[in-house]
Structure formats: structure tokens, C-alpha cells
A = this chain, B = another copy of it.
């Protein structure tokens, strides 16, 4: 009988924003896998570390950090290493920052293994909710529509998506921040936009847009927009 592949959300970074279910499974599985930089620590592993069983086997999927380039070979090799454990009957938990099915790198492993093995996904706290808590402002209320927009999208598409709903989350800012700020200015939305970087991680910050523009945004930075501004309810 084959093992189960767990897609385990570990939340945005704060080690307390892990679920009880994730903590229980982390202590129980014989094998964990996680994305990691070419050198140094994996954020997902760091969050999970206090809960791992002694002697757990670890598979680090090491890849250069380049969100705009796919790391197919790394996922191919990682999927095969994971498949070997599953085929031998050992459960494997893949650790995922945030939620596994919300822009998670788990999707790449799920695409390779989801048809071959039983899969269970344990949802995690996603970055929009973590950032709204830091910003101290609701994402949505009543019957608001919300759009989630990856900042690498073309400028015209970001504008069109922002026009479509009362509330928006613009993710993965990085080098795309100036483009996003141009759109917000054009739509006169800068007054109801909030910038948060590294929510729940060391270096967490809620910054004025102009200060973020001066300093530049990391990849793990979001802008939250609510068009009703202060009169949001």
C-alpha cells in the first residue's frame, strides 16, 4: 500500500500561524520535502522545524530564486525522490509557505504525483489574510468582490482587474512595484492602498507607498486595496 502525499500549508512565516493539523502531521510523517534556495535555509522548513520528528528524512528541492523561470528539472527530480518513498508505503509531507493550493509551489509536485498517489492537502494561512491582519484593515465585507492580481501581469491587465472589483490584493510585487503604483495613481486608488512586506516573517513592515517606492519591494510584498477606503462598512 502506498503512502499519502500531504501538501502541508505552514502559513506565511510566523511559526504560531501553523495549524494544529499541520503540527500533528509534521510530528508523524517519516519524510518531509520542501523548496529551498541553492544555498542556505528553507523558509518553509524553518517554520516547521520545531515540530519535526527526530530522524525524519528530508528532501530539499533546491532551486535558484527566480519566480519568472520554471524549475522543471528540480520538480522532476524531486517528484521522483518523493514517489520512491510513497511507493514504499511511507507518507511524505511537502511543506508549503502559505497555502498549498494558493500560488503554492506544491502545485508543481501535485501535477506530477496527484494521479499516482493518494493526496491530502492541509490548508494554511495565505498571505492576503496575513497581510490584512498586519495592515489592520478588512480585505472584504458584506458583498464585496475581491480580485487577486499577480504583479507580473501586464500593466493594462492589472488596470482592468483593479477596475472590476471593490477590493484587490496585488501580490508578488518585487520589481513590478513601479508599474503597479502607476496604475494605482491613474485610477486614483493610492489613498486606499496599503503596502505590507514579509508578513509574519523577520523584517515584516507596513509602509507608506512612497517609502516602499523609494526602498523597492521584495517578492513577498503585497498591496491591499479597498475602494471604500475608511468608509468600508
A residues with a Cβ closer than 8 A to B are: 7, 9, 11, 14-21, 23-24, 99-104, 107-108, 110-111, 114, 119-126, 128-130, 132-133, 136-150, 152-153, 157, 160-161, 164-165, 172, 232-233
The 7 A-B residue pairs with the shortest CB-CB distance, nearest first, are A16-B21, A121-B133, A123-B129, A143-B150, A146-B148, A101-B132, A101-B138
Distance of A14 Cα from B22 Cα, bound (Å): 12
Q: Which residue of B lies closest to A199 (CB)?
A: B123
Q: Which residue of B lies closest to A231 (CB)?
A: B111
Interface majority SS (helix, strand, loop, mixed), chain A? mixed
Q: How many copies does the complex hold?
A: 2
Chain B residues in 8 Å Cβ range of A133: 7, 100-101, 120-123
Distance of A120 Cα from B132 Cα, bound (Å): 11
Min Cβ gap A71→B in Å is 12
Chain B residues in 8 Å Cβ range of A14: 21
Q: Which residue of B lies closest to A144 (CB)?
A: B150
Residues A19 and B18 in contact, CB atoms below 8 Å apart: yes
Chain B residues in 8 Å Cβ range of A17: 19-21, 122-123
Min Cβ gap A85→B in Å is 21
Q: Which residue of B lies closest to A98 (CB)?
A: B129
Q: Which residue of B lies closest to A110 (CB)?
A: B138
Q: Which residue of B lies closest to A154 (CB)?
A: B143
Most buried by B among A11, A103, A124, A137: A103
The contact of A145 among B20, B107, B129, B148, by CB within 8 Å, is: B148
Residues A107 and B233 in contact, CB atoms below 8 Å apart: yes
Distance of A133 Cα from B29 Cα, bound (Å): 19
Residues B161 and A145 in contact, CB atoms below 8 Å apart: yes
Q: Which residue of B lies closest to A120 (CB)?
A: B133
Distance of A20 Cα from B20 Cα, bound (Å): 6
Min Cβ gap A113→B in Å is 12
